[in-house]
Amino acid sequence: MSGPRPTTGIPAPSRAPARVQHDHGFARAFLDGMRRSPKRVPCKYFYDSVGSALFDEICDLPEYYQTRTELSLLSAHADEIAAILGTDIELIEFGAGSLTKVRVLLDALERPQAYIPIDISGDYLAKVCAALDADYPALRLDPVVADFTRPFVLPAPIHDTARRVGFFPGSTIGNFSPDEAVAFLKTASGIVRGGGLLIGVDLVKDADILNAAYNDTRGVTAAFNKNLLARANRELGANFDLDAFAHEAFYNAADSRIEMYLVSLLNQDVQIAGETIAFSRGEAVHTEDSCKYTLESFAALAWKAGLVPRQAWCDPQQLFSMHWLEAD
């Protein structure tokens, strides 16, 4: 990739380096979370390059039905989805990750003009973009390294009339609370006004299936969860003993969400960036919620954000769903 793309409407070279926006504040957020009672760390901090690679491993686990189900939904309905998304679009992906799913869309879309993946993990984004770039040489690829839960700047559209479509797969929207999800949808709909959003959403289902998906037998999800502590050791000079914490994840049916924690197995003091933080035995650090929706409850959320839910697809077992929401 070479040559920056201007942020005006002037046509630009088709290869651009990832533009990096804001420092993601891991040190401050982590320490703030450790000083709170109960302790918690925002789940976006899972995704340094180690965490992103562990998440890719999770996606291939037999228990984690989400990725393969969403991919098969996308493949099964690719032509119909491509027709709805339209021709000559600029596709913006929020939390782009491994860029696997977008390939199914790019292959089905007619003359996609640009692809703008946004991700918090800069090294990882650069790596996956290099591979995509090699496979789609004619596509304008304009990666943005940013935390999309905070204000960020997008490259200017190629033409004033360009239709922009947002892609938000993987049920990452489930990692927001419902109120945060509405706020995100409102912001995203402003970005794609006149177009829409294609969103993958995990569905409410049998608790055993959900509990297994977040407690895999190979311990990859546990390693992903504990990578938060390993990351603090690497980046903040902390001295967490990873064996002194347990991974815990369970389905809270009343609130339709998986809750994930790191539980201290003993009374212990940990040094973090020169500060001593005390953990008591059994004390839990809340690391993630993963909300599950029904087709109806997600459509209601979209209406609340001012979007129009036009179409939803789900697999025969009703494990996972894709939604097309129009932004008028």
Non-local (6+) Cβ contacts of 241 within 8 A are 268
Q: Helix, strand, or coil here: 137? A: coil
Spatial CA neighbour of 185 closest among 166, 169, 213: 166
In the chain the first and final C-alpha atoms are separated, in Å, by 34
Stretch that binds ligand AVI, among 126-134, 164-172, 263-271, 320-328 (CB under 6 A): 164-172
Stretch that binds ligand AVI, among 134-142, 158-166, 167-175, 276-284 (CB under 6 A): 167-175
How far, rounded to the nearest angstrom, does the alpha carbon of residue 210 sit from its chain's CA centroid? 18
Among 117, 122, 143, 170, binds ligand AVI (CB under 6 A): 170
Nearer to ligand AVI, 52 or 113 (CB): 52
Stretch that binds ligand AVI, among 79-87, 102-110, 158-166, 172-180 (CB under 6 A): 172-180
**Size of interface with ligand AVI, in residues (CB under 6 A):** 10
Residue 22 region by backbone torsions, left for phi larger than 0, else alpha for psi between -120 and 50, else beta: left
Secondary structure letter of residue 188 according to DSSP: H
Contact letters for ligand AVI, residues 197-236 (x by CB under 6 A): -----------------x------x---------------
Nearer to ligand AVI, 16 or 210 (CB): 210
Residue 311 region by backbone torsions, left for phi larger than 0, else alpha for psi between -120 and 50, else beta: beta
Nearer to ligand AVI, 187 or 211 (CB): 211
Exposure string for 203-213, b = 16+ CB within 10 A, e = fewer: bbbeeeebebb
E runs forming strands in the chain: 19-20, 39-40, 90-94, 114-119, 140-141, 144-145, 164-168, 196-202, 245-252, 257-264, 268-272, 275-279, 284-291, 308-314, 320-326
Among 175, 189, 227, 321, binds ligand AVI (CB under 6 A): 175
| Element spanning 17, H or E | none
Among 69, 98, 121, 171, binds ligand AVI (CB under 6 A): 171
Is residue 174 within the footprint of ligand AVI (CB under 6 A)? Answer: yes
Is residue 172 within the footprint of ligand AVI (CB under 6 A)? Answer: yes
Is residue 63 within the footprint of ligand AVI (CB under 6 A)? Answer: no
Nearer to ligand AVI, 44 or 163 (CB): 44
Non-local (6+) Cβ contacts of 276 within 8 A are 269, 270
Say if residues 157 and 195 touch (Cβ distance below 8 Å): no
Nearer to ligand AVI, 224 or 240 (CB): 224
- Rounded Cα distance, 309 and 14, in Å: 33
Nearest distance, CB of residue 286 and ligand AVI, angstroms: 13
Nearest distance, CB of residue 250 and ligand AVI, angstroms: 12
Query: Which residues between 275 and 294 bind ligand AVI (CB under 6 A)?
Result: 288, 290
Nearest distance, CB of residue 120 and ligand AVI, angstroms: 12
Stretch that binds ligand AVI, among 20-28, 165-173, 176-184, 268-276 (CB under 6 A): 165-173
Nearer to ligand AVI, 33 or 95 (CB): 95
Footprint on this chain of ligand AVI (rule: CB under 6 A): 58, 170-172, 174-175, 214, 221, 288, 290
